[in-house]
Chains A and B, each alone.
Chain A
Amino acid sequence: MDKNEIIQIKELKKIFPMGKSEFTALNDINLSLGKGEFTGLIGPSGSGKTTLLNIVGSLDTPTSGEAWVLDQSIGKLTAKEAAQLRKKNLGFIFQSYNLLAVHNVFENVEFPLLLLKIGAAERRKMVMDALEWLGLTDKVRSKPPQLSGGECQRVAIARAMVKRPSLVLADEPTANLDAANSHHILQTMVKLNEELKTTFLFATHDEKVIGYLKRKIYLFDGKVAKDEWVTSNQTAK
């Protein structure tokens, strides 16, 4: 694996059993992602974006072929090793935020640091830093049900970013947001990508997201249909 590579996927197939028959959700995927990319998997609903993101996120395993993430072969990891990879190196952002409803903003963002057994003082500083990046310092004690959708997604981004992961996986992060909030969080993510050199991999079919991507990988029926880099003079809206 190239020093600068973070993801490498070779001849990956994912087949789901469907009663008596089977369904091929991903077919012969070959991809590689370098560190610091801001890339999206683009495709209509059902094209396999989430499935691919889940495999990269070690939440699922390939049926055949290989997926290397940070020098680890996803299909060969034990449950513990996979959990370790997610805990240390991966951040997740979901369409429906997936915040812990009974925990306040601080506690939600603190969560990944608790799993990493980071000391209280350091934890506090890291959480406050992350909340500052996302402009949430005045919502520290609020609980998710009291927040707007945009605020919730910002908390989710803070939670994904707080441990400074190498790779953030964002599955339709703007699907529940209005245009203003979508642009706001995307601009924040672009900034984090540039300042912290965090790699972002999106799954989306939202034009607003697509506008910010530096690399667009089009999926269609579980196959890579097109893989293009955005030239630097093309600017996001």
Chain B
Amino acid sequence: MKTALKLAYRNLVGAGLRTWLNVIVLSFSFVVIIWLKGILVGWDYQAKSDMTNWEIGGGQYWHEQYDPFDPFTLAESHALIPEQFSEEIAQGDMVPVLMVQGTLYPQGRMQTVTIKGIDADQDIFLLPTNKLDTVVDAVPAIIGAAMAESLHLTEGDLVTLRWRDAWGTFDAMDIVITDIFSSNVPSVEAAQIYIPLELLREMTMMQDEATILTFRDPELSRPAVQGWIHKPKNVLTASVDRMIKTKTAGQSVFYAILLLLAMLAIFDTQVLSIFRRQKEIGTYIALGYTRREVVGLFTVEGAMHSILAAVVGALYGIPFLAWQAKVGWTIPMDAGDFGMAMAQTLYPVYSAGLVVSTILIVVIITTIVSYWPSRRIAKMNPTEALRGRIQ
């Protein structure tokens, strides 16, 4: 094996330009695959941490009537906070949010919104709720940048808000925008306004009630609570998993094409080698190789393309990938239009497992592709190979 490696290396490097063309094509596949996979891992990580920070914390309890996809359920989805959570809430490790349907009237227009009541001093979410503590003449409210832009609202603007209380009676009041935040999570920005929890409870006559309870610690075991549905973190991030899965499938097609091209080049080289190097094959046999050993030599030679490609790929790939991890990859479209937690700039994350498995898979595929045409050598007649007469 050592001899075969040595000879294969000499033959491969000796073959010059053709070898390096194959190696460069293959090394490009390595770098692109690792980069793209790294982007997905980074995206997955970023999307989940954005969701954790802005939307779901360490997991939630939902009122049993609450359905985020049906705003009409909001009228029914509120209840007293169960007794057993009072301590956790008092310690700040659980944040109750009350949600009510409402309508905003900015400059004569109309926008249906979800009004979310939240404690000003919570620190589970990155929402700037401390800005709800400001003393103003109207109800202090914070909104996301996306909505602020679409409604042309800026800090300090007064807007009329209309809502229904627990008895279904309409009421209206002015709110003042005390802060505009931007997150990467569209669902915390789109058509949402945040106002102080106690105020919303008063406005709606829903004392001590909430719609969603978000806790900080995802590790604690969570009991079942009558009237509330426990939503663990992994359930709440399932949409991200689904999205990443879809993207992975899409990428896989791309990898397959990339690898197919590289493998085609190597396959072609192998087939050509076996015809052009008949005399050489005969010579190996005359010098004491068996035909099977020559098959082995040619297979190792072909497979070695992938080893060289890993080395060459590392030469330019490591600096490139490291630079990408540092500056990130800025998506050439508006991330807000994506409808999912997505930053404008994604930072690829590479794991040792990703690099090793990519290299391993490529080496295995290259070996198979190299072995396939080389099998013919086992059927060659050595005397005819020496004459170079095999068609």
Contact = CB atoms under 8 A, between A and B. Distances in A.
Interface of A: 50, 54, 57, 59-60, 79-80, 82-84, 86-88, 92, 94, 96, 98, 100-103, 107, 111-112, 114-117, 159
Contacts of A116: 288
B246 interface: no
Contacts of A80: 290
B37 interface: no
27 contacts: A50-B383, A59-B282, A59-B383, A79-B291, A79-B292, A80-B290, A82-B290, A83-B285, A83-B290, A83-B293, A86-B286, A92-B283, A98-B279, A98-B280, A98-B283, A98-B386, A100-B283, A102-B10, A102-B13, A102-B14, A102-B15, A103-B11, A107-B10, A111-B7, A112-B287, A115-B287, A159-B287
Contacts of B13: 102
B320 interface: no
Given A102-B13, A115-B287, 15 more contacts: A50-B383, A57-B286, A79-B292, A86-B286, A92-B283, A94-B283, A98-B279, A98-B280, A100-B280, A102-B10, A103-B11, A103-B14, A111-B7, A115-B289, A117-B3
Nearest to A107: B10
B90 to A, nearest CB: 77
Contacts of B383: 50, 54, 59-60
Q: Which of A83, A111, A112 has the most CB of B within 10 A?
A: A83
A200 B197 CA distance: 104
Contacts of B288: 83-84, 86-88, 112, 115-116
Nearest to A98: B283
A125 B110 CA distance: 94
Nearest to A117: B3
Interface string B371-384: 00000000000110
Nearest to B287: A112
B287 A111 contact: yes
A84 B7 CA distance: 19
A102 B292 CA distance: 22
A59 B382 contact: yes
B222 interface: no
Nearest to A84: B288
Nearest to B290: A83
Contacts of B285: 59, 83, 86
A125 B279 CA distance: 28
Interface of B: 3, 6-7, 10-11, 13-15, 279-280, 282-283, 285-293, 382-383, 386
Given A83-B288, A87-B288, A114 B3 contact: yes
Contacts of A98: 279-280, 282-283, 286, 386
B3 A59 contact: no
A10 to B, nearest CB: 21
B20 to A, nearest CB: 14
A151 B362 CA distance: 42
Given A103-B14, A114-B7, A59 B386 contact: yes
B388 to A, nearest CB: 9
Contacts of A87: 287-289
9 closest A-B pairs by beta carbon, nearest first, are A102-B14, A87-B288, A98-B283, A83-B290, A92-B286, A86-B288, A59-B382, A114-B3, A54-B383
User: Which of B283, B291, B293 counts the most A-chain CB atoms under 10 A from its CB?
Assistant: B283
Contacts of B280: 98, 100
Nearest to B289: A83
A94 B386 contact: yes
B279 A96 contact: yes
A87 B287 CA distance: 6
A96 B283 CA distance: 11
B102 to A, nearest CB: 79
A20 B306 CA distance: 46
Nearest to B10: A103
B287 A79 contact: no
Nearest to B280: A100
Contacts of B6: 114
A80 B293 CA distance: 10
A103 B283 CA distance: 14
A46 to B, nearest CB: 13
A100 B13 CA distance: 13
